[in-house]
């Protein structure tokens, strides 16, 4: 069952009516096929028109949808032969950030990304995708391993931000994020990042300082959440929609100002409606970008990555 967002209520009403008609048809052998077909067409058209004109705040809600695919879903449907590697060899293994060897089609890659979890138990286990210092240090270790073996690095970013708890600060959260960002920029192998849900603050940048940065159609990417921004500017989180509009958090806005390089289409109605199709579309885009970077030398990759980020805002 799909969880409907507030702005999807007209679509939800239509789909509920379709379900009722199907139930009547099954129980009473009444031929309502033509009416069901008419309502299905109307529902699809309404869904398409709704998603064609989403506001930045509505896109933020889609990016946070509880059924939106996460790291494990993309591993299952866009990659193969995933071999997870754990631990930072310093403190612990952080399940908010996962990674390991994988295949993207016929290409061997190092895959790293945030995992939020799908239910209460797994969300707690993965700390809602909020990485701790040991998670970012694990990412650094895996990047260095990829560089040693000459493997492209692919990252899937989906976090509201790095974990802000006292214990994370005690273990050097800011330093770990800075080192992870530095490791991305210094990589001597191709690196492609994809913002697949939320890209929040330094917790996202630490895995997204890549040669090419992709973004799913309804993902968001910003230095702070709209609620956090609204709380600072207007002393109330109720103006989050205004903040989202002003912050230019959407893929379409960020593509126009060259913060990201490519927008990847999602299935109609968002990735949460068809996670398999969403994963395959993303996998195809990632493969194309990895192949485009493959002929470049290590020196060219590092120089291009540095130039790309220095040019933002210039």
Note the pLDDT tens digit of each residue in 175-185.
999 999 999 99
Q: What's the rounded mean pLDDT across residues 278-285?
A: 97
Q: State mean pLDDT over 264-286.
A: 96
Percent of the chain at pLDDT > 90 equals 83
Per-position b or e across 270-285, b if 16+ CB within 10 A of its CB: bbbbbbebbbebbbeb
Percentage, residues of the chain above pLDDT 70: 97
Whether the pLDDT of residue 29 is over 80: the answer is no
**Contact predicate 160/198, CB 8 Å:** yes
C-alpha 73/C-alpha 136 separation (Å) is: 21
CA separation for the pair 253, 247 (Å, rounded): 9
Question: Residue 27 pLDDT > 80, yes or no?
Answer: no
Does the pLDDT value for residue 26 go beyond 80?
no
How many whole angstroms separate alpha carbon 186 and alpha carbon 211? 11
Lowest mean pLDDT, pick from 2-16, 104-118, 289-303: 2-16
Give kind and range of the element (H or E) at residue 212. Answer: strand 212-216
**Which tokens belong to 279?**
């994963």
Using the predicted structure, report yes or no on whether residue 40 has a pLDDT greater than 80.
yes
pLDDT digits (tens, 9 = 90+) for 64-122: 999 999 999 999 999 999 999 999 999 999 999 999 999 999 999 999 999 999 999 99
96: its two tokens: 């908010």
- Beta-carbon contacts of 145 under 8 Å, excluding residues fewer than 6 positions away, are 85, 110
Q: What is the mean pLDDT of the chain?
A: 93
CB 97 within 8 A of CB 138: yes
């Amino acid at each position: 069952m799909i969880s409907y967002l507030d702005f999807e209520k007209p679509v939800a009403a239509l789909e509920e009516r379709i379900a009722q008609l199907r139930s009547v048809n099954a129980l009473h052998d009444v031929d309502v096929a033509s009416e069901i077909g008419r309502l299905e067409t109307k529902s699809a058209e309404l869904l398409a028109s709704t998603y064609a004109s989403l506001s930045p705040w509505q896109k933020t809600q889609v990016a946070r949808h509880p059924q939106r695919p996460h790291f494990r879903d993309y591993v299952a449907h866009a990659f193969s032969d995933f071999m997870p590697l754990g631990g930072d060899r310093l403190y612990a293994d952080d399940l908010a950030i996962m990674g390991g060897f994988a295949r993207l089609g016929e290409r061997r890659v190092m895959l790293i990304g945030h995992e939020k979890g799908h239910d209460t138990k797994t969300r707690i286990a993965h700390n809602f995708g909020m990485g701790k210092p040991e998670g970012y240090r694990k990412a650094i270790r895996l990047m260095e391993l990829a560089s040693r073996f000459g493997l492209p690095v692919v990252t899937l970013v989906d976090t509201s931000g790095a974990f802000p708890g006292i214990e994370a600060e005690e273990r050097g959260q800011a330093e770990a994020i800075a080192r992870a960002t530095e490791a991305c920029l210094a990589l001597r192998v191709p690196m492609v990042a994809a913002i697949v849900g939320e890209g929040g603050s330094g917790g996202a940048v630490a895995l997204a300082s890549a040669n090419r940065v992709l973004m799913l159609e309804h993902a968001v990417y910003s230095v702070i959440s709209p609620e956090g921004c609204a709380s600072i500017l207007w002393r109330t989180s109720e103006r989050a929609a205004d903040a989202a509009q002003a912050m230019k958090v959407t893929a379409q806005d960020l593509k126009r100002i060259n913060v990201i390089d490519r927008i990847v289409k999602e299935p109609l109605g968002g990735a949460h409606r068809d996670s398999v199709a969403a994963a395959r579309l993303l996998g195809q885009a990632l493969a194309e970008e990895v192949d485009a970077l493959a002929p470049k030398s290590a020196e060219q990759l590092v120089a291009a990555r540095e130039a790309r980020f220095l040019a933002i805002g210039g």
